[in-house]
Structure 1
């Protein structure tokens, strides 16, 4: 038997002493491949809504990714190759804590003084892709409170394009629309829709942001009665907060830097907030950048060498066009509110 093995989930080469795959976070088993498995094809980072097992990433977050990378649903025979995105965002959002419930949340705030970044001579700008011009946002940086979570929410009326590239092989383009639905609850600051195209069809996922006394929160349109922490108020370098869960393990967020300028090629973003997400459950560490009025604009691995979520374009489309995307992809937007029992 050779010294090297390969992850059964993503095909990455691993070492005998590895417990988790460094590429995708999958726990390694004793019977993993000795020979490298077939390389997976590039595919969309989102599943169809009805196939989702967990919500898409929110910044981190998503998310985060968000997480950062949730387990993907099994591929159905004769169905398209569709996978769950990590934000997140995320995700992302930046990204990886959406699967945790509010139960068991523990805000572990480091005893740090508030630090307001000196940004009186800088202007936050939004790029108008259609005209090639640069427009100044409503508030200059001297008017922004960089310690408030709300500062880093996206401004309604914009469309942003992202390239998503995750270590398990997922890659694709995501379009994000920021707006407010007509007659939306006044507690909703902004709603976002992330749209991906798969085999000629578009699929959209909605997120709604509210603020509370301690920071900002988001609600998935698909689960309107559940709420998740986004960013905390009183932001300062070194501040931490966390989710504790006996089943999945802990996720800890730490503010690494503030007032950072970030050049993404098509535009320079000023006064960015940099947050590290240590997802101990998944064995991942991600770094997310949030820009005033733009939300999460960039996410990388801990080394900064691998981009997970990167804004590649941003344009002002107006509130009506953004509103139409919220109505189209968020069937529950009228049900979304800041319910303190959530």
Structure 2
């Protein structure tokens, strides 16, 4: 068979949710199939470019860390859709390039949607919000589908000019909405059997539970954000734990003053403190019977001069042994004054030596 031969799939119209292969015929690619062949290479390049662009945009808008996947519709899937929908032109098919954005929280869908609307030209006629069209007493597939293309400004840029006329579908959904859609699609639409009503109802009930879970995750996230915000304004007598110490190091004015003073004397910014560092600090502070932020501030202030002597000695030694690299200063992290205080409080001889300028 010639490499350009294409398999045609005929559709059993009595089973609209399933496609049955009745006849396989080999034909030369003509018409819409030839259009697909012509656009395939630019579509693949477009997929890569647009995926990277969306990833960068979401990073810049503060939505980094979410999942972005993409694909170009395979030939067999393309032909199946052409036959089932009776398409005559490739312009009728708007999802040859498909991009899916999966977010942790359902309420981020609308926020990301605003980014997509701002950065791309949206084909509103062919776009659809599945969340809006579902009946309020029904549970099922929830996702936002945009048909988009590059806007006028970006399409004139050299790196995007080849893709200025290519439309692509962007799906936006939460991770739980995605999980339900994938499982339902795998179970219902890949099955050759008609799904019984009671199983369909089971899927709907599960969809309802996932909607509840989506809402609960949002509620928990918001509650945690409110808790963190309250810690920024915590009193001097706040008990030290993992969360309060992390917030104290990042937001307390006096700690920031100490950190900035240290940062002025080293060739790179202070590194971010890790959860392991916080845990070690808490263990050491507990051993030293430092239980509240009031106790910690009192000791930091009373030992401030000694703390800076100790840190400056560490800086000088680092510069002496590693004069040509900044990586040696990776051990200098936010809250470095607390680390220094712990060392000094644990070693009485060290404190005496620092006080007498012996070291």
Larger relative contact order, structure 1 or 2 (CA cutoff 8 Å, min sep 6): 1
Q: Which has the larger radius of gyration?
A: 2
TM-score calculated relative to the size of structure 1: 0.19
Structure that is richer in helix per residue: 2
TM-score calculated relative to the size of structure 2: 0.18
Structure that is richer in strand per residue: 1
